[in-house]
Amino acid sequence: AQKITQTQPGMFVQEKEAVTLDCTYDTSDPSYGLFWYKQPSSGEMIFLIYQGSYDQQNATEGRYSLNFQKARKSANLVISASQLGDSAMYFCAMREGGSTGGFKTIFGAGTRLFVKA
Amino acid sequence: EAGVAQSPRYKIIEKRQSVAFWCNPISGHATLYWYQQILGQGPKLLIQFQNNGVVDDSQLPKDRFSAERLKGVDSTLKIQPAKLEDSAVYLCASSFRGQGGEQYFGPGTRLTVT
């Protein structure tokens, strides 16, 4: 069965410092995708970064990078140079399937990040 | 490019009443999702459409929830009758199949059942 685990309910980081948000996953499907989304207090989920299971290099998007360790089944999000606007909920999600045309996506419980000035 | 549109943004109903939510995905996105997000939790997939066909509705409480996507564009999600535990934010998302799979979310509908 699919499973996504985010063990950090809340994290604090000083402005301009880097922070790592943890995510572990469990799947038996060799083809899967991992996503991180940001949900500010306004409620709208915003896509941040994607890592495919066959990708050789870790994904990066601006200040976001994904530390993908396939053998450990972890996909941690690293935010560099934190900004006050980074304060939000962050969700890790996994998509598997697709061989029959249907992808299944599940989300973790989320980590709330607080950036301190 | 216009984003995913949802309406209404807020809805308050009494238990046992019915309610409907509407979603208009990003133009050209074949896949449409409805999620339920209870306060303090991650989104839970209720139903997924590919064009106007259902791909996955395994977590949809079919005795009270229904959804349709006519003509492969707009979608409606209905609850009848509502229960207190249905209080949540209902998120609609869409994606373009074959493009990495990231989903684009609407602003959500916050439902309160009293």
pLDDT, one tens digit per residue, over B34-84 is: 999 999 899 999 999 988 889 889 999 999 999 999 888 999 999 999 999
Mean pLDDT over residues B16-24, rounded?
97
- Mean pLDDT for A36-63 is 94
Pick from A42, A102, A107: CB nearest B42: A107
Q: Does A109 touch chain B (CB under 8 A)?
A: yes
Torsion of CA B35, A42, A67, A3, to 10 degrees: -30
Share of chain B above pLDDT 90, in %: 77
What pLDDT, on the 0 to 100 scale, is given for residue B5?
96
Strand-pairing partners, residue B53, are: B50
More confident residue, A5 or B71: A5
CA angle A105, A21, A23 (to 5 degrees): 40
Rg (CA), chain A: 14
Nearest CB to A102; choose among B56, B108, B110 = B56
Report CB contact under 8 Å: B43, A45: yes
Q: How do residues A54-101 score in pLDDT, each as one tens digit?
A: 998 999 999 999 999 999 999 999 999 999 999 999 999 999 876 555
